[in-house]
Homo-oligomer: A and B are copies of this chain.
Amino acid sequence: MSAVSRPTSTDVARRAGVSRATVSHVLNGTDHPISEATRQRVLAAARDLHYAPNASARALRAGRSNIVLLPMPRSGSLPGQDVFLAHLGRELAGMGLDLLLHGDHTASGVEGARMWAELRPAAVFLDTSRGTQPAVALLRQAGVQAVLLSGVPAGPYAPSVPIDPSAVARVATRHLLSQGHRRLSCLVPGGEWAALAERRFEAVVEAAQIENALVERVDCSLAVSSIAPAVARWRNPAHRPDAVYAYNDEFALMLIYALREAGLDVPRDIAVVGSGNQPLGAILRPTLTTTHFLVPDLAHAVASSLRRLLDGRELDPALAAAVQPRLIVRESA
């Protein structure tokens, strides 16, 4: 393996027969006047050497970077995580910003903030659960220009994107109520889903209260056996809810299957609504009524807000609309 030296701007300067300062002026497009001839020489030299400026040195000198740091979101805190990240990354790249997802999703609090601060990012995009007041303060003190929080409730100490992963439950419940359903039930899976499930359950209860509707709680897991007792009970019309919010589309499909096995018809006997707009929901019959976020719009609004924040402006007004979940009415409810 040849011990090639990583080319620096000095190498480019030497090859072009000019000073390093000139190289910098050319490559960064300063308004400093440079003759076209030398400009071309410098560009050619940089290309020949495959010169790539050292981001560390640049950031050190400038006192800031163009990094947008996104600590690895814990599962469920961002809707459509991989799609969201893909869109956000492309959007930010178009704005001259580098999205960096930082690895360990267990890091949090002040301890995590110190790790994130080490990179001296221009901006950090955090969920509220980890963006505590001291964490945000530490980041600010480390020179992070923009700290954007995601979640509800919004912290008063930093601008926030009110992405509420439980909002889909609210929208779904409103739809059920508008259809005249008053006896509701809600699946509440445990395990890895527990945290989000509790919040969605609360959202359902809250929305139901407005119409004085009652909500039965069904703890479960992703196995038919876990909902079998409830389904058996519901065979008796006296104990049967009008409609079920099933936490998400997977649970909804499982529930619909179990109901059919028990001889109950969806939506005639029980209406079912899920969340997430999984493709299968549009395919299997009865097709699934669901609620979801427009993830691309959301990513666009977040990217735009970050850019505006860095420019000293306020959040993108389009955010308010983008965080609203959408309802897709199909056959199941």
Q: Which residues of A does B touch, CB under 8 Å?
A: 1, 4, 6-7, 50, 52-57, 59-60, 65, 68, 72, 75, 81-82, 85-86, 88-90, 92-93, 97-107, 110, 114-115, 117-120, 138, 140-143, 222-224, 250, 253-254, 257, 279-280, 283-285
Complex CA–CA separation, A81 to B86 (angstroms): 12
> 10 more A-B contacts (CB under 8 A) besides A72-B86, A90-B106, A253-B280?
A52-B117, A55-B56, A75-B82, A86-B105, A89-B102, A89-B103, A93-B104, A254-B280, A254-B284, A257-B285
Complex Cα distance A306/B101, Å? 18
- Asked if A65 and B56 make an inter-chain contact with CB atoms under 8 angstroms apart, the answer reads yes
Minimal beta-carbon separation of A46 from chain B (angstroms): 10
Q: How many copies does the complex hold?
A: 2
B residues near A117, Cβ cutoff 8 Å: 52
Name 29 A/B residue pairs within 8 A (Cβ), A-sorted. Answer: A6-B141, A6-B142, A50-B110, A50-B138, A52-B115, A53-B118, A54-B60, A56-B56, A56-B65, A56-B119, A56-B120, A72-B89, A81-B82, A85-B101, A86-B105, A89-B105, A90-B103, A93-B103, A97-B103, A99-B102, A99-B104, A100-B101, A100-B103, A101-B101, A222-B279, A222-B283, A253-B284, A257-B283, A257-B285
B141-A50 in contact (CB<8A) = yes
Once the chains are docked, how many angstroms separate the CA of A167 from the CA of B245? 38
Residues of B with C-beta under 8 A to A56: 55-57, 59-60, 65, 119-120
CA distance A59 to B269 in the complex (A): 65
Of B55, B60, B93, the contact of A120 (CB 8 Å cutoff) = B55
Q: Which of A52, A250, A253 has the most CB of B within 10 A?
A: A52
